[in-house]
Amino acid sequence: MAKFVKQEGVALENHVITTVTATEPFTCSWQCVDTPLCFSMNVRKLQTGLVTCELNNSSKTADRQDLMPRAGSQYHQMAEVDHCTVEDCIYKDALPAGWYKFGSKLIKLFPERRTWGQARHSCQLIGGDLMSINREDENEFISHLLGQIKIKGKGSNQITAHWILDGTDNDVSLINGATYEEEDGAKSLHLNGSGEYATTPAVDFGKTSFTIASWVKLQTPVTSQSTIYSDWSPPRQFIVDAYSTGELLFGGFNNKGLYKPWFAAGSPPIGNWFHVAAVWDRDANEARLFLDAQKVGTQPMQSDSYLRNNSHAVYDIGLKRDTDHTLRGYLRDLMIIGGALTGEELTNITDPNNEPLDGVWIGLNDVKTEGAFYWPDGSHVTYTKWASNQPDNQYGYQDCVEMRIDKGTWDDTSCGRQLPFVCEKKT
Listed ranges 96-104, 325-333, 394-402, 414-422: which one lies at the site for Ca ion (CB under 5 A): 394-402
DSSP secondary structure string for all residues of 220-254: S--SS-EEEEE--SSSP-EEEEE-TTSSEEEEEEB
3-state secondary structure of 70: strand
In the complex, the smallest distance separating the C-beta of residue 158 from Ca ion, rounded to whole angstroms, is 10
In the complex, the smallest distance separating the C-beta of residue 116 from Ca ion, rounded to whole angstroms, is 12
The size of the interface with Ca ion (CB under 5 A), counted in residues, is: 8
- In the complex with Ca ion, the residue whose CB is nearer, 345 or 412, is 412
Contacts of 26 (CB under 8 A, 6+ apart): none
- In the complex with Ca ion, the residue whose CB is nearer, 99 or 386, is 386
Which position among 260, 412, 418, 424 is part of the footprint of Ca ion (CB under 5 A)? 412
138 binds Ca ion (CB under 5 A): no
Which position among 80, 87, 136, 392 is part of the footprint of Ca ion (CB under 5 A)? 392
Q: Return the residues of window 242-271 that contact Ca ion according to CB under 5 A.
A: none
Q: Spell out, one character per residue from 15 to 44, where the chain touches Ca ion: x when CB under 5 A holds, - when not.
A: ------------------------------
Strand order in the sheet with 3-12: 3-12, 67-79, 40-45, 51-56, 16-22
Tell me which H or E stretch contains 316: strand 314-317
Listed ranges 9-17, 94-102, 231-239, 390-398: which one lies at the site for Ca ion (CB under 5 A): 390-398
393 binds Ca ion (CB under 5 A): yes
Evaluate whether 120 touches 367 at the Cβ level (below 8 Å). Answer: no
The residue type found at 156 is S
Q: How far apart are CA 143 and CA 137, in angstroms?
A: 10
- 215 - beta bridge partners? 275, 332
- In the complex with Ca ion, the residue whose CB is nearer, 35 or 158, is 158
399 binds Ca ion (CB under 5 A): yes
Cβ neighbours of 142 (radius 10 Å): 22
Cα distances from 423 to residues 128, 307, 321, in angstroms, run 7, 41, 42
In the complex, the smallest distance separating the C-beta of residue 168 from Ca ion, rounded to whole angstroms, is 18
Q: Return the residues of window 343-372 that contact Ca ion according to CB under 5 A.
A: 366
In the complex, the smallest distance separating the C-beta of residue 389 from Ca ion, rounded to whole angstroms, is 8
Residue, CB closest to Ca ion: 393
Which position among 132, 398, 414, 418 is part of the footprint of Ca ion (CB under 5 A)? 398
Evaluate whether 190 touches 166 at the Cβ level (below 8 Å). Answer: no
In the complex, the smallest distance separating the C-beta of residue 371 from Ca ion, rounded to whole angstroms, is 6
- In the complex with Ca ion, the residue whose CB is nearer, 29 or 394, is 394
Nearest to 120 by CA among 388, 287, 362, 338: 362
The residue type found at 363 is G
Q: How far apart are CA 270 and CA 273, in angstroms?
A: 8
In the complex, the smallest distance separating the C-beta of residue 144 from Ca ion, rounded to whole angstroms, is 23
Which residues of the chain form contacts with Ca ion (CB under 5 A)? 366, 392-394, 398-399, 411-412
